[in-house]
Amino acid sequence: MIRATSLALLLTMFSVSATAAEKGDAAAGKTKAYTCSGCHGIEGWKNPYPNYHVPRIAGQNYDYLVNALTGYQKGERSHPTMRAQAESMSAEDIRDIATYLSSITP
């Protein structure tokens, strides 16, 4: 019983450490996400421009943000502005931005 409990604890600790290691640096992400606020209006989630619906990204799920930015980067998602933005990002940039945006409390 003690071995099983110890093994379960060890596996849990390893999975938490692996998840934390995959995420980026929120402070760096805050700086890198500066241009996002122009359309996505992170502060208060309002966007005065453009006049069409732009999704809320502040407080969004980390994995969703990583997948979306990676999809734009690879051309799997089509939006010219987002593709241009994502193409200039490294994998680290994407993780940092996703970490920052997902850390914002809605």
- 44-58 pLDDT, tens digit per residue, is 555 555 566 778 898
Q: How far, in Å, CA of 92 to CA of 22, rounded?
A: 9
Residue 99 burial (CB count, 10 A): 22
**pLDDT at site 93:** 97
Rounded to a whole number of angstroms, the distance between the first and last alpha carbons of the chain is 42
Does pLDDT of 16 surpass 60?
no
Q: What fold, for 24-103?
A: Cytochrome Bc1 Complex; Chain D, domain 2 (1.10.760)
Cα dihedral 55/61/64/66 (nearest 10): 100
Categorize the per-residue pLDDT at 68 as very low, low, confident or very high, splitting at 50, 70 and 90.
very high
Between these two residues, 66 and 9, which has the higher pLDDT value? 66
**pLDDT at site 53:** 72
Q: How far, in Å, CA of 57 to CA of 54, rounded?
A: 9
